[in-house]
Amino acid sequence: MRASLEAQALEAVLNGTQWLMGPTLGEQQEPDATDMHVAAGRWKDEGRVFAIERAGQTLYPRYLFDESGTPIPEVDEILGVFAGYAPLRIASWFESTNSLLHGRRPRECLATVPSAVVEAARDHVASAMHG
């Protein structure tokens, strides 16, 4: 039963947004690099983005990046708030509606009101810790 629920959650998360692979991001940031995964992998290691592994592919949600393909600066702060959370759990939070964001999803607000998304993340973690 739990595996079925996790599979359903994963499908909802994957279907909710566009997902990018490392080479796509690498091409935008370092077109002359020999390994196009370098930029995305470095950002992931630095805690500036997260990714989900699916069928041997590392997938990055499009909403974490600005139009030039660079991580939105507040993402690292949000990921710091969610330190220790699994990537799927973080992605599920970004996909869920949030009352502090007036019923919108954090992924829908990240590019326009990133500070509000940071506050929503803090509120989510504080609420989980206190009841």
Q: What is the pLDDT of residues 22-55, one digit of tens each?
A: 877 766 655 555 555 688 888 999 999 999 998 8
Q: Residue 91's closest CA among 66, 71, 121, 116? A: 121
| Whole-number Å distance between alpha carbons of 109 and 21 | 22
Q: What is the pLDDT of residues 58-82, one digit of tens each?
A: 999 999 999 888 899 999 999 999 9
pTM for the model stands at 0.87
Cβ atoms of 30 and 43 closer than 8 Å: no
Give the DSSP per-residue string, 44-101.
HHTTS---EEETTEEEEEGGGB-TTSPBPTHHHHHHHHTTT--HHHHHHHHHS-BGGG
**The domain containing residue 39 runs over which residues?**
2-129
Per-residue model confidence (pLDDT) at position 126 = 95
Q: What is the pLDDT of residues 76-101, one digit of tens each?
A: 999 999 999 999 999 999 999 999 99
Q: Is the pLDDT of residue 120 over 90?
A: yes
Overall domain count for the chain: 1
pLDDT band (50, 70, 90) for residue 6: confident
